[in-house]
Chain A
Amino acid sequence: MHKLSRLKKYVELFKRNINQFVSPDVKIKTTIYPVEAEGAVFEFLFNKNNDSSEVVDKTRPTIGRVLSEIPQRMVGGNIEGVKFGGTNLYLEGNRIIIIKGEDDAINWSGNAVIEDVKRVVSTSQGGKTT
């Protein structure tokens, strides 16, 4: 997914929905990693430095390439050979990485964003979601 309007819309809706769970003094810095293939990667960095900026990184060929270039401990080994489906979440320290595996409209709708936020909140509190 490298359709910038859709990627930005996802970020806008995600931030709008998750803000009801975020402490008032916490802001979210966002980095969007578009990819040529299906899917995209989003990085949400929670901070108390009043940083709500939104950065669109360069477009990479695959999700695997993105994950090989950003710090994460979710997938190791030959990441290029890994296929991603649905919505995958990785929470660590003060950041959340969301890996969207597919371009289907159903995965990017308003309801899908609400579902993603629910999963993020549940996972952040120790809940397991599939």
Chain B
Amino acid sequence: MSDKQLPIEQIAKLAEDVRLIKDFAENHNFDTSLLTAKLSPKDNSSKKYDNCMIVMVSFICLVLATIAVIKLWSPPLSTSQNSFAFIVGLVFIIVSSMAAHIRFQDKTVTGIVVVGLLMALFIGAGIFTPQEAVDKVGQIAQ
């Protein structure tokens, strides 16, 4: 037996000392009147949809459709029609970013959606070139 080996009592003490507590929940006489859990019967009649996600995806598609109209409509839109389509695109971006924020409750995700869609609209409307858009995104990210 090596001199470096720990005595059995010390090993037992170490084993007791190193513990892992994971996803544990304990209630020590919590005042139940402070929180009210609403109970409702299980509803099998209707399937639940993620409305925010549906709104977000739909409005992202509408932004893309607006860009397609600005870019590809034949004959090309007049300046005033272009401006109107651009404003409609901005409104779609606002709605989709609001839906993203409600859905994910995360500023980073909302920021990515807003910046991504704005850059797509700016490129589509010819305000930025793709290179300028990449530079702008880089600046914003910093």
Question: Which residues of chain A have a CB within 8 Å of any CB of chain B?
Answer: 13, 18, 21-23, 26, 46, 73-75, 77-78, 81-94, 96, 99, 101, 109-110, 113, 119-126, 128-130
Instruction: Name the one of B22, B26, B29 contacting A85, with C-beta atoms under 8 angstroms.
Output: B22
Count B interface residues, CB 8 Å: 26
Q: Which residues of A contact B34 (CB under 8 A)?
A: 22-23, 26, 46, 94, 124
B1 touches A (CB below 8 Å): no
Of all chain B residues, the one with the shortest Cβ separation from A94 is B31
Q: Across the interface, do B21 and A91 meet the contact criterion of CB distance under 8 Å?
A: no
| Interface SS majority for chain B | mixed
| Cβ-Cβ contact count across A and B, 8 Å cutoff | 107
13 A-B residue pairs with Cβ-Cβ distance under 8 Å, sorted by A, are A75-B21, A82-B18, A82-B19, A83-B21, A84-B22, A85-B20, A90-B26, A91-B25, A91-B28, A124-B32, A125-B37, A129-B25, A130-B23
Q: Across the interface, do A93 and B30 meet the contact criterion of CB distance under 8 Å?
A: yes
Decide yes or no: A89 and B104 within 8 Å by CB, A83-B19, A124-B30, A125-B35 being known contacts: no
Q: Could you tell me the distance between the alpha carbons of A59 and B25 in the complex, rounded to whole angstroms?
A: 24
Q: Which residues of A contact B104 (CB under 8 A)?
A: 110
Least Cβ–Cβ distance between A89 and chain B, in angstroms:
4
Q: Could you tell me the distance between the alpha carbons of A75 and B24 in the complex, rounded to whole angstroms?
A: 11
Of A86, A91, A123, most buried by chain B (CB within 10 Å of CB) is A91
Q: Could you tell me the distance between the alpha carbons of A119 and B25 in the complex, rounded to whole angstroms?
A: 8
| Interface SS majority for chain A | mixed
- Contacting A at CB under 8 A, from B2-55, are 16-38
Q: Which residues of A contact B24 (CB under 8 A)?
A: 74, 88-89, 130
Instruction: Name the one of B25, B32, B106 contacting A128, with C-beta atoms under 8 angstroms.
Output: B25
Q: Which residues of B contact A91 (CB under 8 A)?
A: 25-28, 30
Query: Apart from A88-B24, A92-B29, what 16 extra A-B contacts exist at CB < 8 Å?
Result: A13-B105, A23-B36, A78-B17, A82-B20, A83-B20, A83-B21, A86-B23, A90-B26, A91-B25, A93-B30, A99-B21, A101-B21, A121-B35, A123-B30, A125-B32, A125-B35
Q: Could you tell me the distance between the alpha carbons of A25 and B35 in the complex, rounded to whole angstroms?
A: 11
